[in-house]
């Protein structure tokens, strides 16, 4: 029997049937009025989601594509400061280097971010042209909690702000205009509950006037801007995936954007407490803890890899291990998008039982009790 997996990994997430079915509709011409309508709806829905009227560009590529587009169009010949938050800040730094930026990384301990003071000090010494940040670094589950202040400080010094918000868009507070985010990268398959394959960039006027074109062909933002004026993309887009993303966004807007974001935040906090009651220690200190990817050290006798295998084999629940050096030392639980409460209840019970099976204490009832108020948030 092919039992459907419950995806509690840091993306992709399970997608609702109405959203999946949009992709089953006939393929449309990407140079037609029907496509223009879809494109305009998507741009409008992304603007509503993010509360901005900034330029929105759509890429047929996973999140890395949008991040690479930022690196390729803003990095060349510039000095870039990158606060280290984990694997994804390393990737951002690497992409910037590949496209000819001089990069200075503000180092931090694994599972943490450098303090704002340290970042500002290095900013004033290095005098970058841009700061490239990962709002929510999915690899250790680190949230750059002072991102609003850092963006404001950067803008007040005339520095461009680039943000990889791939695992935060829709799942955490995000005020593009108020904070002063010049270029943001987002993707379809995480907190927006759409299938993977689409990513997007959101650009301010300052960003558009600072473009350096000609270093990439597929991701040349200048070309995308030209085509966006006629509600098209330069190259053949994944029209079916765009339809699904549009329907996922419409669902979020109907649910209420603020309510959707609150759901993520108010779901994550009690879950940290619940897993602590099962014996799992949060990997990241409270100040920088992600609201969409929860990472934990397992009790000493519990192997992260074996736990993941047991959850997958016995319960069809998929959670993740660490990335890179953290591969076998932590577990990561993605709590993104549309997760029925029953799946969280099942996860807690299954993890608690696995811990108990090894003769260790796990307060399953206490952990479940932490979720008691979520019913109200889910509505």
Ligand X SMILES: Cc1ncc(COP(=O)(O)O)c(C=O)c1O
8 A C-beta contact, residue 15 and residue 193: yes
Interaction between residue 75 and ligand X (CB under 6 A): no
Which residue's CB is nearer to ligand X, number 194 or number 263? 194
**Which residues within the stretch 127-156 sit at the binding site for ligand X (CB under 6 A)?**
134, 136-138
Structure tokens belonging to residue 333: 């639980």
CB of 99 to ligand X, least distance (A): 16
Count interface residues toward ligand X (CB under 6 A).
Answer: 15
The correct pick among 6, 58, 160, 166 for binding ligand X (CB under 6 A) is: 166
* Cα 3 to Cα 319: distance, rounded to the nearest angstrom: 16
Phi first, then psi, for residue 242 (nearest 5°) are -65, -40
Structure tokens belonging to residue 46: 């992304």
Interaction between residue 278 and ligand X (CB under 6 A): no
| Residue 178 burial (CB count, 10 A) | 12
Closest-CB residue for ligand X? Answer: 63
* Cα 334 to Cα 315: distance, rounded to the nearest angstrom: 16
**Which residues within the stretch 181-220 sit at the binding site for ligand X (CB under 6 A)?**
187
Interaction between residue 179 and ligand X (CB under 6 A): no
Compute CA distances 334 → 42, 140, 203, 265, whole Å: 25, 12, 28, 13
Interaction between residue 11 and ligand X (CB under 6 A): yes
DSSP β-bridge partners for residue 6: 317
* Cα 46 to Cα 200: distance, rounded to the nearest angstrom: 9
CB of 201 to ligand X, least distance (A): 13
Structure tokens belonging to residue 77: 């010949």
Strands 136-137 and 102-106 turn out to be unpaired
Which residue's CB is nearer to ligand X, number 194 or number 350? 194
The correct pick among 64, 112, 115, 329 for binding ligand X (CB under 6 A) is: 64
Which residue's CB is nearer to ligand X, number 196 or number 366? 196
CA-nearest of 290, 324, 341, 31 to 137 is: 290
Q: Omega of the bond prior to 12 within 30 degrees of 0, cis?
A: yes
CB of 352 to ligand X, least distance (A): 27
Interaction between residue 54 and ligand X (CB under 6 A): no
Interaction between residue 322 and ligand X (CB under 6 A): no
Question: Near ligand X by CB under 6 A, which window of 18-26, 59-67, 72-80, 97-105?
Answer: 59-67
Interaction between residue 167 and ligand X (CB under 6 A): yes
CB of 322 to ligand X, least distance (A): 13
CB of 40 to ligand X, least distance (A): 24
8 A C-beta contact, residue 125 and residue 106: no
Interaction between residue 280 and ligand X (CB under 6 A): no
Give per-residue burial for 78-93: e unless 16+ CB within 10 Å, then b: bbbbbbbbbbbbbbbb
CB of 41 to ligand X, least distance (A): 22
- Contacts with ligand X by CB under 6 A lie at 10-11, 62-64, 67, 88, 134, 136-138, 164, 166-167, 187
């Amino acid at each position: 029997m092919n039992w459907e997996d419950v995806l509690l990994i840091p993306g992709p997430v399970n997608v609702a049937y109405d959203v999946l079915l949009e992709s089953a509709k006939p393929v449309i011409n990407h140079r037609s009025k029907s496509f223009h309508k879809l494109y305009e709806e998507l741009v409008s829905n992304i603007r509503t989601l993010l509360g901005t009227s900034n330029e929105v560009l759509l890429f047929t590529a996973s999140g890395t594509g949008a991040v690479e587009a930022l690196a390729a169009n803003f990095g060349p010949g510039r000095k870039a400061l990158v606060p280290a938050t984990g694997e994804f800040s390393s990737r951002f730094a690497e992409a910037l280097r590949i496209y000819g930026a001089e990069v200075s990384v503000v180092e931090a301990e694994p599972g943490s971010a450098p303090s704002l003071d340290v970042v500002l000090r290095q900013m004033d010494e290095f005098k970058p042209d841009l700061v490239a940040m990962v709002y929510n670094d999915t690899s250790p589950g680190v949230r750059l909690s002072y991102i609003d202040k850092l963006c404001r400080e950067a803008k007040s010094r005339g520095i461009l702000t680039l943000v990889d918000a791939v695992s935060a868009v829709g799942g955490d507070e995000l005020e593009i205009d108020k904070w002063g985010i010049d270029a943001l990268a987002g993707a379809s398959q995480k907190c927006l509950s759409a299938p993977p394959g689409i990513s997007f960039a959101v650009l301010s006027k300052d960003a558009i006037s600072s473009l350096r074109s000609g270093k990439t062909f597929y991701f040349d933002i200048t070309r995308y801007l030209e085509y966006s004026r006629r509600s098209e993309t330069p190259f053949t887009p994944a029209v079916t995936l765009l339809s699904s993303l549009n329907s996922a966004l419409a669902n979020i807007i109907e649910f209420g954007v603020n309510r959707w974001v609150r759901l993520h935040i108010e779901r994550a906090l009690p879950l940290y407490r619940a897993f602590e009651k099962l014996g799992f220690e949060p990997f990241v200190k409270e100040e920088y803890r992600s609201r969409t990817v929860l990472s934990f050290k397992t009790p000493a006798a519990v192997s992260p890899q074996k736990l993941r295998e047991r959850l997958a084999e016995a319960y069809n629940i998929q959670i993740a291990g660490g990335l890179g050096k953290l591969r076998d030392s932590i577990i990561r639980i993605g709590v993104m998008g549309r997760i029925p409460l029953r799946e969280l209840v099942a996860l807690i019970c299954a993890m608690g039982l696995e811990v108990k099976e090894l003769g260790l204490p796990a307060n399953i009832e206490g952990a479940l009790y932490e979720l008691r108020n979520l019913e109200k948030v889910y509505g």
